[in-house]
Structure 1
């Protein structure tokens, strides 16, 4: 209870400060009037020798640079600690599950312990997400800018940034990882595997050849998800030799890493530079795409020849149970595909 009161008091004080800062601050209709962040040319340190001397000069010119550098360093350190945070979260979650099994114990101490474990499990799990690291450290950066420069400077800085590409990456990944899109891609791979009578070897070639290329349409993470699930069902369920199992896993990683280079809108690394470097589908296909396809095909042929006997000897030892999955109506899948196409076509217009 004291902690809750302290938290409420902190929010109230922050709200009062924020209201006064907004009321006292000038208009932020133009970011040019804000002059933040300071352009690099205005530091006039091109002739200053040494990185540390340049940093010291820039900190002296604008103290916000010191705090921004410290926050950036903390974010880098945090990135390397995410695995440790996940381990701690798993430890708390395991203890929570053991405690949850003790249903007969409903003492106040037990309930308090459960709340404690649940909170810290979620806390460390959130801080262990690599994708959230820099977003988390934006909060102290914004607080520093607001305190040292004022609220108008913070608003001017945020509104002057172009967030079209990050927004596109988030939206396209959310749509591509939806169940209708994943099921559609899975059915396409099943049709290709049927050309080889749906044998384990045919599934292996279909998944590792065409699956990674889906990364150019539905993003690499979504393609990885589909390929991993299908490999588990069609290959790893048959208990292949460890040599084949690990080789398949490594080949999947390599193929996925290049499978998203046929287009300019699916792979996040490509999306982030496509606009600035004027890369379109034609450029990607002629410069990178055909090379990626050739590399995937050659790698798969080499691996297939190396593990030919193991792949051909894989036999389905039992009749696979029909998956108890509710069918997705065609119109639902069509709507998701249309949203996917719309997002790609309007990738440079966040409002749309």
Structure 2
């Protein structure tokens, strides 16, 4: 291992970005010490935005490459050589999935299933949303499932007077279940998508090796968390507000646009063309629309783009580390490493290791998805969830604590480890 100065700089900045991610609440606290509206207050609030972190340090890397190489062109060449398809796709799918027709349709489906369960309405919907909803991510993609579930859960639970313990337990459960819930197919979970073509994994393979384990994991984790917090859940009375009318034809069109964006996910130019047409549709049908979540989607895209920019130069130490592990060490190592680096990047680097056998392939991907809920950077859809939920009433206006998320995700992560490795 003989890293270049640029790789060393990228690792240093990556470490700072991770530390920054865990320190955003401190920046928010410091902001309140300055006069309202002052430059210092606004700057600290900007630094307290979780979605800004990796984009900000990626900009520092851009400047560092230009300084080391003595040319802005070298930095531009590096950026243009990266693959930003995933950030672009997440941005586009988040805008569409967060619209009133899609959210209303998703909520109706979840309500319909919840009515079949022998529980109170609040408990039944909670169990349905967090057990079934993430599994739907295998078909509509994980980012779309995360967006839809975050919006629905925010309104029904996170904006209510629930305890911080319940809030973070639910947040961790959501993130872990979405990470494992996309593994029923070979195209919906980013860490699976990175290796599916190289290792010839298809949907039947995913169902027989990952899918049934994911289903057990989601149901078991959700059932236990719901049981532990059953008294709080039973006390939540959700009264549906004014359900504004959405024409059936408009819902059908929205579903068609969502399907088109998923289908063209790896063709960003076409995907963005579809998004532009969709924005035209929402403008023409404004009376049936809520405000689009463009700001949130742009911030999430910026976060993921920054993660790609910094993470792409970590191969010099990650790839040998993956190659040096085997069996259980690879599974648990991948679970741990996922907390500090995107799980899709981790599996992609693993796919480059020569001679990695089927057992090690499974161990790498299973570990990567098991640890995908531990931090905001562990799985690509997580920033979308944070972007929607951090303003929820239960988090007191200070945003989501990374340590709180980690603590809330520990239990469902242990369940995932049990289902994917010990069963």
Shorter chain as normaliser: what TM range? 0.5 to 0.7
- Label 1:182 to 1:280 Cα distance change in 2 as closer, same or farther (>3 A): farther
The residue aligned with 1:228 is 153
Would the aligned equivalents of 1:176 and 1:340 in 2 still touch at CA under 8 Å? yes
Q: Please report the TM-score for the alignment, with normalisation by the length of structure 1.
A: 0.59
The alpha carbon displacement at 1:208 in A equals 3.1
- Label 1:307 to 1:149 Cα distance change in 2 as closer, same or farther (>3 A): closer
The residue aligned with 2:331 is none
**Aligned equivalents of 2:248 and 2:25: distance in 1?**
39
The alpha carbon displacement at 1:292 in A equals 0.8
Would the aligned equivalents of 2:101 and 2:251 in 1 still touch at CA under 8 Å? yes
1:80 counterpart = 2:19: yes
1:209-246 Cα shifts (integer Å, max 9, x gaps): 21222333252532541563365189x77x79x99888
The correspondence for 2:43, drawn from 102, 115, 123, is: 123
Q: Which runs of 5+ in 2 are unaligned?
A: 271-423
1:162 counterpart = 2:83: yes
Would the aligned equivalents of 1:165 and 1:272 in 2 still touch at CA under 8 Å? no
**Aligned equivalents of 1:131 and 1:278: distance in 2?**
34
The alpha carbon displacement at 1:178 in A equals 3.3
- Label 1:207 to 1:151 Cα distance change in 2 as closer, same or farther (>3 A): closer
- Label 1:302 to 1:215 Cα distance change in 2 as closer, same or farther (>3 A): same
Would the aligned equivalents of 2:17 and 2:57 in 1 still touch at CA under 8 Å? no
Would the aligned equivalents of 1:261 and 1:270 in 2 still touch at CA under 8 Å? yes
Would the aligned equivalents of 2:141 and 2:262 in 1 still touch at CA under 8 Å? no
- Label 1:166 to 1:265 Cα distance change in 2 as closer, same or farther (>3 A): farther
The residue aligned with 2:294 is none
1:8-64 Cα shifts (integer Å, max 9, x gaps): xxxxxxxxxxxxxxxxxxxxxxxxxxxxxxxxxxxxxxxxxxx5xx34xxxxxxxxx
The alpha carbon displacement at 1:188 in A equals 0.6
Report the 3-state secondary structure (helix = DSSP H, G, I; strand = E; otherwise coil) of the residue aligned with 1:189: helix
**Aligned equivalents of 1:307 and 1:144: distance in 2?**
49
Q: Which runs of 5+ in 1 are unaligned?
A: 1-50, 56-64, 97-112
Report the 3-state secondary structure (helix = DSSP H, G, I; strand = E; otherwise coil) of the residue aligned with 1:331: helix
**Aligned equivalents of 2:220 and 2:235: distance in 1?**
25
The residue aligned with 1:181 is 102
Q: How many residues align?
A: 265
RMSD: 4.0
Would the aligned equivalents of 1:181 and 1:333 in 2 still touch at CA under 8 Å? yes
Q: Please report the TM-score for the alignment, with normalisation by the length of structure 2.
A: 0.51
1:136 counterpart = 2:56: yes
- Label 1:218 to 1:67 Cα distance change in 2 as closer, same or farther (>3 A): closer
